[in-house]
Every structure is written in structure tokens, then in C-alpha cells.
């Protein structure tokens, strides 16, 4: 870790004012050298405030700048605006970035949804893609998306007491309105997953209702703005922990605890066909098992699911 990063870490860790003397002792360099590093950081846009007592990092709980992510900061790639964090993550993954690298943007100009849809990405939402390099067979790759949906639903439920549920495969709904969508892109190495990029678009302080009637934001549910960093950190804590000892059966079981699809009549539109039936179960890889009108079972592995009764 370089001196500038170390300074940010110390300022982050303390949260208050840290004297130049403390910083110089911790880094083993002179106070003049500390002052030069601080000046460099401020020139880079890091909001460090200097006072006679020392230095402090301005706290903005909604900031998504890497320097506010403590030990994770090296893996956070922040963009004020980009076309899509999926593209940024793909570039990072191809360049060999480490596991759990995150591309996060305040706005996306070409945000993408599933099935070639546009994902409206106005300011105020949380738009990010995590690069994962899971040591799992290809057949379980779909479960990583389901796992991300479970972890974000848990984050929303436990942190904000919203009644988040899951529509197969990985839409997060509250009162039947979509609050979060998940998109993934993968590159395989033989029959193993090489990297898997999981992109999440969460309606936080944006107003998706004005673009899409079937959508809702956390702000409109709670009647107040929510700082996005705490949501991202809570999600990453849960998701990284899960991925360190990935358990396919646990994902299925936890998904079912949030389930809004099983037990309903649904139709699932794939690029080729539309399948209608009663959603009866998930298979071991996260596919949706439908009971058709003639009583036979059919499993669908991808597609857009629409709930009936």
C-alpha cells in the first residue's frame, strides 16, 4: 500500500481529526512529507479538510468514491458517468482484476437490462457490477445470480425493513413493483467459470416510477433519501462471504425463503417460445420447474417470467 492510500486508510479508520504527528509516526515519514501527500490527494479530489488539529476526511455517507470504502478501496472503480458498468467490469476482468472488483457509476448512459432491454440509470440509483471468479462448475453459474438476488433482498429487508421478494430468476420486487434488476455476463474456461460479472441496478433515490410504472425506489417506499454506500457495503459483505464457500443447495433454499414465483401460474417468455404453467419448484441449478396444463413438468433455465394468479 502506497503512502497516500495508507493516509486515507488512517483517516477512514479514525473517522475524526488525525494529527499530522500521528500520520507521520504511522507512515515513518516527516510531517512535511505528509503535508505533500495530503496536498496531492486534495488535488486528486479527495475531500480532506485541514485544521490546526490535523486532517479529516469529509464524511459523505452517499459518496461512492473508492477512498470511502476502507480496505476495499483498491477494488472499487468509480465512474461519475459511463455507458454501462457491465462494459467497465468486462474490461477490468479481461485485464486480470482481482475477485470482487466493483465498477460503480453515478449514471449510465447505456444501462442494459435483461433480454436486450434498456436499464434507465438516472442519478440517485445504485448501479454497479461485481467481478467474481468463483471456483465452481459451469452448471452452477446461474446460481450466482440467484445468490446475488438473495443477498440484496436480505440487505433491503434487514437494513430497511422493506418487504423485498424474488421473482424468478432474480428480480427483486416490493409490493409487486421492481426495485432491483440483475444482469450477468460470463466467460468460461473449459467446464469451469472463468469470471462472472454480476450487475445490479437498485432504485434508491432515483424516481423510476416516472419512466416505468412497474418500478419503485427505496426513497419512495421510505419517504427519505438513503445513503447508497451503506447499501453497497452491506451487500458486498454478504455476497463476498457467501462466495468464499459457495453452497448451491443453500442458495436454492434461501431463494425459496424470498420466493414470490413458486405456487403461482406464470408464463415465461424466452427468445424462442413462451411456456405457461404452474411454477412448482426450482431445480438444483436454479431452473424453474413448471407443471404444464397436461400435467407434465418442464424446466425453463432463462427467460422473462410473468406472474398470473
Shortest Cβ distance from residue 201 to ligand BTN (Å)? 3
Query: Edge-to-edge strands of the sheet including 288-291?
Result: 297-300, 288-291, 274-282, 265-269, 304-307
Shortest Cβ distance from residue 111 to ligand BTN (Å)? 4
The answer to whether the beta carbons of residues 286 and 242 sit under 8 Å apart is no
Shortest Cβ distance from residue 90 to ligand BTN (Å)? 10
Please report, as ranges, the residues that interact with ligand BTN according to CB under 6 A: 84-86, 108, 111-114, 117, 119, 127-129, 171, 181-183, 199-201
Cα–Cα distance for residue pair 53/21, rounded to 1 Å: 10
Shortest Cβ distance from residue 62 to ligand BTN (Å)? 17
Q: Which is nearer to ligand BTN, 8 or 180 (CB)?
A: 180
CB atoms within 10 A of CB 166: 24
| Residue 169 burial by Cβ neighbours in a 10 Å radius (0-12, 13-18, 19+) | buried
Shortest Cβ distance from residue 281 to ligand BTN (Å)? 23
Cα–Cα distance for residue pair 125/39, rounded to 1 Å: 32
Shortest Cβ distance from residue 79 to ligand BTN (Å)? 11
Shortest Cβ distance from residue 72 to ligand BTN (Å)? 18
Amino acid at each position: 500500500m502506497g503512502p497516500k492510500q495508507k493516509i486515507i486508510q488512517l483517516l477512514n479508520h479514525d473517522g475524526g481529526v488525525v494529527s499530522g504527528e500521528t500520520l507521520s509516526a504511522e507512515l515513518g515519514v516527516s510531517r512535511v512529507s505528509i503535508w505533500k501527500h495530503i496536498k496531492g490527494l486534495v488535488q486528486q479530489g479527495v475531500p480532506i479538510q485541514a485544521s490546526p488539529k490535523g486532517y479529516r476526511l469529509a464524511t459523505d455517507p452517499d459518496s461512492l468514491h473508492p477512498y470511502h470504502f476502507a480496505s476495499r478501496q483498491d477494488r472499487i472503480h468509480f465512474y461519475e458517468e459511463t455507458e454501462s458498468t457491465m462494459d467497465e467490469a468486462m474490461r477490468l476482468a479481461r485485464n486480470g482484476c482481482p475477485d470482487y472488483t466493483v465498477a460503480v457509476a453515478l449514471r449510465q448512459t447505456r444501462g442494459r437490462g435483461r433480454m436486450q432491454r434498456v436499464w434507465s440509470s438516472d442519478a440517485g440509483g445504485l448501479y454497479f457490477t461485481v467481478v467474481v471468479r468463483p471456483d465452481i462448475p459451469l452448471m452452477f453459474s446461474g446460481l450466482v445470480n440467484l445468490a446475488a438476488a438473495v443477498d440484496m433482498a436480505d440487505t433491503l429487508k434487514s437494513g430497511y425493513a422493506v418487504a423485498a421478494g424474488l421473482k424468478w430468476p432474480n428480480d427483486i420486487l416490493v409490493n409487486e413493483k421492481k426495485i432491483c434488476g440483475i444482469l450477468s455476463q460470463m466467460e468460461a474456461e473449459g467446464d469451469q467459470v472463468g469470471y462472472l460479472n454480476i450487475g445490479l441496478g437498485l432504485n434508491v433515490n432515483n424516481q423510476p416510477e416516472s419512466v416505468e410504472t412497474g418500478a419503485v425506489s427505496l426513497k419512495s417506499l421510505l419517504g427519505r433519501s438513503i445513503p447508497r454506500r451503506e447499501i453497497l457495503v452491506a451487500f458486498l459483505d454478504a455476497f463476498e462471504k457467501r462466495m468464499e464457500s459457495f453452497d448451491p443447495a443453500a442458495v436454492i433454499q434461501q431463494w425459496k425463503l424470498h420466493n414470490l414465483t413458486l405456487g403461482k401460474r406464470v408464463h415465461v417468455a424466452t427468445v424462442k417460445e413462451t411456456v405457461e404453467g404452474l411454477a412448482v419448484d426450482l431445480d438444483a441449478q436454479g431452473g424453474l420447474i413448471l407443471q404444464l396444463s397436461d400435467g407434465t413438468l418442464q424446466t425453463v433455465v432463462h427467460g422473462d417470467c410473468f406472474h398470473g394468479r
